[in-house]
Chain A
Amino acid sequence: MTDDADGRALAERLRAERDERRRLAELIHDGPVQLVAALAQMLDAAHCALEAGDVASGVPIVERALAVAREASADLREIVSGIEPNALRELGLAAAIRELADRLATRRGVTFQLDVAAGDELGDGAQSGLYQIVRDALDQAVRRGPPTTVTISLGHSDGGIELRITDDGGQERREAVMAALAERAAELNATFASETTPAGTTVTLRLPPSAATL
């Protein structure tokens, strides 16, 4: 590799790391931080009511506060498992994608069609890199769509591996998110293409044989 290519690869990696930190900060700020702040306000309200002997007002507020506490807990768990899911470490990429799809199916009512068994043949680095790409692509699809059906396939192609994510959400995707996905793909030495039509979006990544063992 030339010095120039080295420099570009480093810049890409630093940018990807920065984007990941920003993504996490945003997730935590938008979810659990707001929920816990609201929870404190609710408990303040319940405390005021109960202190004044107004049990009839206090109890429903406590019940609502409990629901918010549980939502914050579920949110945090989702963020933690999104950072580095146990399934990815212990069972591999296919299991981690299945788990992610299950969660989105339950929480957002999306139907998934998966053909991802080939993911387990990849090296650890490639598995972890592809997982982040799948997670971010799905996150964007759900935010903009949400789609009713998503298809994820991992198949062999010219000795390498091809990842294809297709959804039927007709909304335009955020350019910055798609650019970040392309950057992550470049980090893995993969080619990246995405296409959005009114019928949905398809994201395609091709990992060369050399990258598949990373």
Chain B
Amino acid sequence: MAETPEITVLLADDHEVVREGLRLALLRSPSIRVVGEASDGETAVALAERRRPDVIIMDLRMPGMDGIEATEEIIRLTPDAKVLIFTAYSERALLQRGLESGARGYILKEAPHETLLRAIEKVAAGETFVDPALMSALTKARDGSDVLTAREREILQLLADGMSNADVAAQLFISQETVKSHVRHILTKLEADTRTQAVAIALRDAMID
């Protein structure tokens, strides 16, 4: 069996109990090592520069410099730094701002263990990851109506859950070409709306494979 390369992470959250929970959860994964903890944005920036972790897990709301500002600063100092936003906020506006600040991923603090690990791995690999739990909120139009058809939503959710086009095709008993055609439609619809660009970015990976 091939050795999984180690991923080093920095935790930035002003709530000690949240860092403790995250530390305990990550301790169960032999391929992830926590190399530092910060309780505010300034410390996160300093530690990110000094220790160069593979992934920086960043809370949004912190006293002083918040997670968005800290992310922007980290990306300015080390453009290839990979930030995964870890927050209790599920509002679309914050997700948008988070990804615009240069973060590669966005997950909720209550995300299941598998989602947390997948997000860290994807972000470490330079990919984009958005918490699947946020997908449905993202595909709503301003008036609350859904911009996607039921089928498109279903496909988006499966892709967000980490399935490949081939997996989706097999699961839904349709051809891969049909899946790709649906994904093209989803992209067109979502990119028409700049607020949902986050999903579009995440989906581009699915288009490529």
Contacts and interface: CB of A to CB of B under 8 A. Distances in A.
Interface stretch (A42-50, A93-101, A190-198): A42-50
B15 to A, nearest CB: 4
Given A45-B27, A45-B28, A48-B28, A37 B21 contact: yes
A45 B17 contact: no
A34 B18 contact: yes
User: SS class of chain B's interface: helix, strand, loop or mixed?
Assistant: helix
A133 B153 CA distance: 49
B199 to A, nearest CB: 23
Nearest to A67: B17
A174 to B, nearest CB: 12
Contacts of A41: 18, 21-22, 24-25, 109, 116
Nearest to A71: B17
A108 interface: no
Interface string B113-124: 100100000000
User: SS class of chain A's interface: helix, strand, loop or mixed?
Assistant: helix
B52 interface: no
Nearest to A58: B28
Contacts of A10: none
Contacts of A8: none
A29 interface: yes
A41 B22 CA distance: 6
B110 interface: yes
B20 interface: yes
A74 interface: no
Given A38-B17, A41-B24, A29 B110 contact: no
Nearest to B17: A38
Given A34-B15, A34-B17, A61 B24 contact: yes
Contacts of B21: 37-42, 45, 68
B25 A42 contact: yes
Interface string B20-44: 1110110110000000000000000
Contact of B17 (A29, A44, A47, A68): A68
A205 interface: no
A71 B17 CA distance: 11
Given A34-B15, A37-B18, A45 B88 contact: no
A118 interface: no
Interface residues of B, number: 18
Nearest to B24: A45
B113 A47 contact: yes
Interface in A19-74: 29-30, 33-42, 44-45, 47-49, 61, 64, 68, 71
A158 B115 CA distance: 65
A72 B61 CA distance: 19
Contacts of A49: 28
A48 B113 contact: yes
A29 B61 contact: yes
A24 B63 CA distance: 18
A48 B113 CA distance: 9
A59 B153 CA distance: 41
B61 to A, nearest CB: 7
Contacts of A39: 21
A38 B28 contact: no
Q: Which 9 pairs between the two chains have the least Cβ-Cβ distance? A: A41-B21, A37-B109, A38-B21, A45-B24, A48-B28, A44-B113, A34-B15, A41-B25, A38-B17
Interface of B: 15, 17-18, 20-22, 24-25, 27-28, 61, 88, 108-110, 112-113, 116
Interface of A: 29-30, 33-42, 44-45, 47-49, 61, 64, 68, 71
Given A30-B15, A68-B21, A71-B17, 16 more contacts: A33-B88, A33-B109, A38-B15, A38-B20, A38-B21, A38-B109, A40-B110, A41-B116, A42-B20, A42-B21, A45-B25, A45-B28, A47-B113, A48-B25, A49-B28, A64-B20
